[in-house]
Amino acid sequence: MNPATEGDTPLPARVAEHLQPGESLVAAIWVSRPAGVEALRISRSEMSPWRLRRAAPESRRGVNGLPRSHAVTLDEHIRTVNDPRVLARTDRRLLLLSQGLGSWRDLLPRPAGTLSPLRLRWESPRTDLTKATEQSGELRLDFTDGSYLVLLTPSAHVQPFLDG
């Protein structure tokens, strides 16, 4: 499903099932990868089937950090605007959730107006996020390990996410 078609569905209600007892949701927003991902530079030795490699984080626009940093591990779960994710900030954690397809039950027909549940993809303690800012209409997340990530978001919802 596309978030544009789910405008009447309250996002906080969909995130609520992932909250721990006593935890409260501060804000939630749809996020995706910004355009402008650079092409991979592949050498002849890297084309060998014995040496398959993933794109290095520095080859993706908007992500900066070491391979196991918060920004890079979060970026591994971010998709394009065709498959956006939900970034939720609680008083304790930062969560990344995706839509359905967690099990075969998500493929079964649902009553009209019923959405598939969100699936937890990534989480981090809230204290690992040092700041969240708007940068040219995009959301920038800075982490305690010095890494950062820039995400594409609906511009009308960035400020409420930052204020929350």
**pLDDT for 62:** 82
What is the number of structural domains in the chain? 1
> Which range of residues forms the domain containing residue 148?
3-163
* Count of other CB atoms within 10 angstroms of residue 138: 16
**pLDDT for 38:** 41
Each residue's pLDDT, cut to its tens digit, for the chain (164 residues) gives 444 444 445 889 899 999 999 999 999 999 998 665 443 444 555 455 544 444 444 456 688 999 999 999 999 999 988 889 999 999 999 999 998 665 555 555 556 556 678 999 999 999 999 999 998 879 999 999 999 999 999 888 888 888 87
CATH code: domain of residue 56: 2.30.29
DSSP structure class, residue 161 = H
The span from the CA of 56 to the CA of 59, in Å, is 5
